[in-house]
Chains A and B, each alone.
Chain A
Amino acid sequence: AQTVTQSQPEMSVQEAETVTLSCTYDTSESDYYLFWYKQPPSRQMILVIRQEAYKQQNATENRFSVNFQKAAKSFSLKISDSQLGDAAMYFCAYRSRGGGSEKLVFGKGTKLTVNP
């Protein structure tokens, strides 16, 4: 079974600075999807960014970008110009593309604090 590991339970960053959240995953498959979700104190889960494994180019969404290292099975999230509204729990998730599996497997999350 696939597993997703977020090794940093908590991180902090100064406002306007850059922070990187790490995520590694374990899979024997070659084709899959990866996601980052944000959960602010409101509890709502919000999709931040997604990456298709067969695409070499790293995904970007405004101030959010990923560093996807397929061989290393690593999928880190970089937040540039951090804002107070970025404070949240961040979850990394994996989805296999094959075998009819539609399930997302989540990591345990990283709590990001943004200091003014």
Chain B
Amino acid sequence: NAGVTQTPKFQVLKTGQSMTLQCAQDMNHEYMSWYRQDPGMGLRLIHYSVGAGITDQGEVPNGYNVSRSTTEDFPLRLLSAAPSQTSVYFCASSYLPVNYGYTFGSGTRLTVV
């Protein structure tokens, strides 16, 4: 079982560049979300989705876009990378309702220079 697969694992971007972080799950989970983890800040919710075609903003959505065209995939797009977006990004998924927590991907470490 693959679980939640995130690619790439590491990425370095220049300021102003755009890129897409990929997230795919094979568990038929309805709920998917993106978090960013920064030192001393814990995990903060960026965007989430409760099903194909449905997305919503989390706590820190500025500078990021998402879409959910299929149940399996939930890509996160950085429109114009900024140094403040240097972080570790986690994709997480779950059945609905989320009674048993999330299954997390292994994370993407992004550095914006």
Tell me whether A and B are bound partners.
Answer: yes
- Which residues in A have some Cβ–Cβ distance to B below 8 Å? 4, 9, 33, 35, 37, 42-45, 47, 50, 91, 93, 95, 97, 102-104, 106-109
Cβ of B75 within 8 Å of any chain A Cβ, yes or no, is no
Interface SS of chain B: helix, strand, loop or mixed?
strand
A93 partner residues in chain B, CB cutoff 8 A: 101
- Which residues in B have some Cβ–Cβ distance to A below 8 Å? 31, 33, 35, 40-45, 48, 50, 58, 88, 90, 92, 94, 96-102, 104, 106-107, 109
Of B42, B98, B109, which one neighbours A102 at CB under 8 angstroms?
A: B98
Chain A proximity of B29: nearest CB distance (Å)? 11
B33 partner residues in chain A, CB cutoff 8 A: 103
Of B42, B92, B94, which one neighbours A109 at CB under 8 angstroms?
A: B42
Interface SS of chain A: helix, strand, loop or mixed?
loop
B99 partner residues in chain A, CB cutoff 8 A: 33
On whether the beta carbons of B42 and A91 are closer than 8 Å, the reply is: yes
Chain A proximity of B30: nearest CB distance (Å)? 9
Given A43-B88, A43-B107, decide whether A104 and B41 contact each other with a Cβ distance below 8 A.
Answer: no
On whether the beta carbons of B97 and A102 are closer than 8 Å, the reply is: yes
B48 partner residues in chain A, CB cutoff 8 A: 102-103
On whether the beta carbons of A44 and B106 are closer than 8 Å, the reply is: yes
On whether the beta carbons of A47 and B101 are closer than 8 Å, the reply is: yes
> Bound state CA distance, A29 and B107, in angstroms?
32
On whether the beta carbons of A106 and B101 are closer than 8 Å, the reply is: no
> Bound state CA distance, A104 and B94, in angstroms?
11
Question: A4 — nearest CB in chain B belongs to which residue?
Answer: B42
> Bound state CA distance, A94 and B107, in angstroms?
21
On whether the beta carbons of B96 and A108 are closer than 8 Å, the reply is: no
On whether the beta carbons of A108 and B106 are closer than 8 Å, the reply is: no
